[in-house]
Structure 1
Amino acid sequence: MRSARLYICLGNYQRGILNISAVKIYDRSYWGILELNGNDRSLFLHNQTTNQINFLKPGQGCDVVFVNSTGRTLDLATAYITEESILILVSPNRHKFLMDWMDRYIFPMDKVTVTDRSPELAIFTLLGSGCREFLEQFGISNILDQPEASHELVELEGIQTRIAVGTGLGLTGYTLILPIAKASSLWRKLTEKGASPMSDQTWEQLRISQGRPMPDQELTEDYNPLEAGLWRAISFNKGCYIGQETIARLNTYKGVKQRLWGLQLSQSVEPLTPIFLEGEKIGIVTSCIETLQGAIGLGYIRTKAGGEGMTVNLGDVTAKVIAVPFLSHDYYDPSS
């Protein structure tokens, strides 16, 4: 239907600006939510992930990356700190893997437990520049101007709902977490008030155009979070964590050998299609999808080959390498 279509102006797309003036609603309940409880929960997650957790207070949150001992990426997640626990919003099909992963590092004396809340909780995301006014009509106001990943437990149409700032895509909007038993009721009320449902295809178009990397595509154990452009989810000032030594060394010695970039393609290609520059293989496509304005994609490209602005070849297909808003590639200077 028309409300679910994505219109991308290619000139704006290069600058990462998508014109979504209406309020869209997308059901992300196929993602997962893990919950950490116990007095050691903050320290435990701090030691398990790349970002600074220890100093966060209830109502705050941040993106974190789970990595293995060699600094390879397991998942990009969002942690929400509450008074009683930490909720972790994880990517689709990663909740069981990450629950088992964390459980391996819980020792008998640790005061922390991990629970998979995915079967109990629904996740909706509201996107668009009209989201603020949309939520104000429900009496929601305190959370609307807070920083990314801030969150608050509210009564939304009589349903206890956690509203968090952010969409997971770097776009304007909010994420709602609520009991799955109440999901149909709240969905109906929100759409009756004017939120237009968004299709899976449109979400995927937005994901790729923004540059949000996903497991089994951009986030695999073949890549580290610096290569994946997830610098903003990494603290270089925190203490030791799993994979920290490798990531710190890559930053210190500017050792990132490949980077994730956006692609504007002359036509769609399959993931894993090689990327060539002047006959030499320099990378690989990880995601690709058609839009009304043409094919867009994501791919890893060797750092020495270049980056934004290059024209590359994928067989008979040509592509322009572009920056995408969700990703960053800046080295951090610990002395600054």
Structure 2
Amino acid sequence: MSRDQDVKALIWDARFPLIRLEGQGCSSFLHGQTSAKVDGCAQGVLVQACWLNATGRVQALLEIRLDSAGADVLVLNGDSNSVAGGFDRVIFPADQVRLGEQRQQRRLQRLEAGKAPDWNQVVWLSDSSEPQNSWADLSPCNASELESWRNKQGWPLGDQELTGDTNPFELGLSDWVELNKGCYLGQETVAKLASRGGVKQQLRCWQSTSETQNILQSGDQLKLNDSRAGIITSVCNDPVTRSSFGLALVRRQALDAEILQAGNSDVEVSIARPSAFCDPPARG
């Protein structure tokens, strides 16, 4: 049995690039540049947001924390230089925002086996600080344990999930998108997808039904009755069962299928909705 199955919880302890914004207009600026409702948020609260392009594709995953002097923007996934450059290009004097220097931020998140991410179990710490006592006995996860956890829960942190061509509803990030706010970058496309149900694929967990260790890999095609059904985006191998599991982007017409064929060998894989997946809003 692997370690992530043996323990109840682990700590994901890592450092991420952080972009500093200063000035009175930071909350309004970030409200218009990200998918989250930032205006009106309390200082010190971590806000999860997508940074989208003009066509609603996810370019980066962010965590935002407002303070009395401005805001910190942590880049959880994506290119921080692209985010900073994108901000810089649209900052005008009237915005009352100044772009500061980037730095590294230590971030801890509690990961519980079999449970989707709990965003209330995230803290930012200075290098001289230690986590709260309730976390003292938890073990830091290593890279393979983190990869196993995110693949089992359906958290899209891989390069093949966040390609720059996928939208929040395809990745199960609907709760990172505030539809009931004014104009923001990518808002028009996201609103159309929400109202028309135009999502063509969705993220799914997959599990091989037989010994397939090291056979399947990211980029392998999925098929249903000889028709294209999607693509594998992430792969983990279980050394005990010698099977494979991971994430895939599955086409809409194949989402109800329980079994698909994967790769050149037509390996059978079962498909399941990830526990972390937040469904797109129902069409009105």
TM-score normalized by the length of structure 2: 0.86
1:301 aligns with 2:250: yes
Q: Is residue 111–residue 117 contact of structure 2 (8 Å, CA) maintained in 1?
A: no
Query: Which deviates further from its counterpart, 62-71 or 212-221?
Result: 212-221
Return closer, same or farther for 1:218/1:104 CA change in 2, 3 Å cut-off: same
Map of 1:122 onto structure 2: 106
* 109 and 205 in structure 1: CA distance in 2 versus 1, 3 angstrom threshold: same
Which structure 2 residues correspond to residues 247-262 of structure 1 after superposition, within 5 A? 247-262=190-205
Alignment equivalent of 1:46, drawn from 31, 48, 51? 31
**8 Å contact from structure 1 (residues 127, 173) kept in 2:** no
- Equivalent positions of 1:213-228 (< 5 A) are 213-214=156-157, 216-228=159-171
Instruction: Kindly state the Cα deviation for residue 65 of structure 1 after the two structures are TM-superposed.
Output: 0.7
Deviation at 1:206, TM superposition (A): 0.7
- Where 1:299 maps in the other structure, the secondary structure is strand
Tell me what 1:197 maps to: 140
Which residue identity does 2:249 align to in structure 1?
Y
- Cα RMSD of the aligned pairs, angstroms, is 2.8
In the alignment of these two chains, the number of paired residues is 275
Map 1:83-102 onto structure 2 (within 5 A): 83-92=68-77, 94-102=79-87
Partner amino acid, structure 2, of 1:254: G
Distance in 2 (alpha carbons) for counterparts of 1:127 and 1:298:
18
Q: CA offsets per residue over residues 171-199 of structure 1, 9 Å max, x none?
A: 4873332333x26xx48x98995332211
Bigger Cα displacement from structure 2, 318-327 vs 264-273: 264-273
Choose from 245, 248, 261 the match for 1:313.
261
1:136-285 equivalence runs, <5 A: 170-171=117-118, 174-180=121-127, 182=128, 186=130, 193-214=136-157, 216-265=159-208, 266=210, 267=212, 268=214, 269-285=216-232
SS of the counterpart of 1:296?
strand
Among all aligned residue pairs of Structure 1 and Structure 2, give the percentage whose two residues are the same amino acid. 27
Cα distance in structure 2, aligned partners of 1:330 and 1:176:
28
C-alpha distance after superposition, 1:277-305 (max 9, x if no partner): 11111111111112345322111111122
Structure 2: how far apart are the matches of 1:48 and 1:192? Answer: 34
1:66 has 2:51 as partner: yes
Structure 1 counterpart of 2:109, one-letter code:
T
Query: Any idea what the Cα deviations from partners look like across 1:75-104, whole Å, max 9, x if unmatched?
Result: 122222333332222125622221112111
Matched letter for residue 12 of structure 2: Y
TM-score, length-scaled by structure 1: 0.73
Please tell me whether the aligned partners of residues 3 and 145 of structure 2 are also in contact (alpha carbons under 8 angstroms): yes
Q: Deviations over 1:120-173 (max 9, x none)?
A: x322334449xxxxxxxxxxxxxxxxxxxxxxxxxxxxxxxxxxxxx9x61487
> For 1:53 and 1:305, how far apart are their aligned partners in 2?
36
Q: Which residue of 1 aligns with 2:233?
A: 286
Instruction: Evaluate the alpha carbon distance shift between residue 93 and residue 252 of structure 1 in structure 2; reply closer, same or farther with a 3 A threshold.
Output: closer
Corresponding residue SS for 2:164: coil
Q: Structure 1 residue 46: deviation in Å? A: 0.7
Residue 13 (structure 2) pairs with residue 27 (structure 1)? yes
Q: Is the 8 A contact 2:59 2:78 kept in 1?
A: no
Structure 2: where are the runs of 5+ without partners? none
**Does the residue aligned with 2:278 lie in a helix, a strand or coil?**
coil
